[in-house]
Structure 1
Amino acid sequence: MDDKNIPFQTIDWSLIPRTEHAGESGIAYWQTMQFDGLRVRIVEYSAGYVADHWCQKGHIVYCLEGEVTNEQENGDSSVLIPGMSYIVSDELSSHRSVTQTGVKLLIIDGDFLQLK
């Protein structure tokens, strides 16, 4: 088996350490599984969270709990509530997350989202 392959596994997210990342306001808590060219995270943003940067990386984002506004630097925005997703490739958007009430997201990103 190639080292880049991911064998079948289950993830008990309660056992994955949380890291803290300050936003412009509020805190983000990440639980991260890192594989070769792939990152899978459960991310929780506290109430009042505003990201401290405009992100240009691609993501697949699925809202598990709460509500988040996805602001784009061009002025567009969208809202995710539980059961909703957004998907974008690298460098096709300059976006950031903002939440008034807090949110819990599943975020997947990696090499497969690079522009072709």
Structure 2
Amino acid sequence: MENPSIPFQTIEWKGVPRTEHKGETGIAYWQTIQFEGLRVRIVEYSKNYKADHWCEKGHIVYCLEGEVVNELKDGTKSILSEGMSYIVSDDLSSHRSITENGVKLMIIDGAFLQSNA
């Protein structure tokens, strides 16, 4: 995999369009910047959000506001609150997000998180 160059730039997130993605319950709002092999998002989950699928993609997640429960398919749960992060490569977990009061996250994912396993 060749790393494409990304020139210096600032991102005014207020100007990035929001897309709506319904969960099993609640709604996720994504603001997405896409580069070759790299996606950067600000994601807001509404109150009482529960993902409608088990995700196996890799992510770097940073919690900007609120709190989210990360549930693994094996039943393990962890809580991510403001100032915390998690990281996982592709295909190394089946996970989903659940909120009670909503959360705002920065999520980075892409080809660089492909698993070597």
Q: Same fold (TM over 0.5)?
A: yes
Tell me which residue corresponds to 1:18.
18
Tell me which residue corresponds to 1:43.
43
In structure 2, what is the Cα distance between the partners aligned to 1:18 and 1:68? 20
In structure 1, what is the Cα distance between the partners aligned to 2:26 and 2:68? 13
Tell me which residue corresponds to 2:6.
6
Structure 1 unaligned spans of 5+: none
Spell out structure 1 runs of 4+ moving beyond 2 A. Answer: none
In structure 2, what is the Cα distance between the partners aligned to 1:115 and 1:44? 27
RMSD: 1.3
SS of equivalent to 1:49? coil
In structure 2, what is the Cα distance between the partners aligned to 1:11 and 1:74? 37
Q: Does 1:33 align with 2:33?
A: yes
Tell me which residue corresponds to 2:67.
67
Structure 2 unaligned spans of 5+: none
In structure 1, what is the Cα distance between the partners aligned to 2:40 and 2:60? 10
SS of equivalent to 1:80? strand
SS of equivalent to 1:14? helix
CA deviation vs aligned residue, 1:42-88 (integer Å, no higher than 9, x gap):
00000000000000000000000000000000010100000000000
CA deviation vs aligned residue, 1:10-52 (integer Å, no higher than 9, x gap):
0000000000000000000000000000000000000000000
Q: Sequence identity of aligned pairs in percent? A: 72
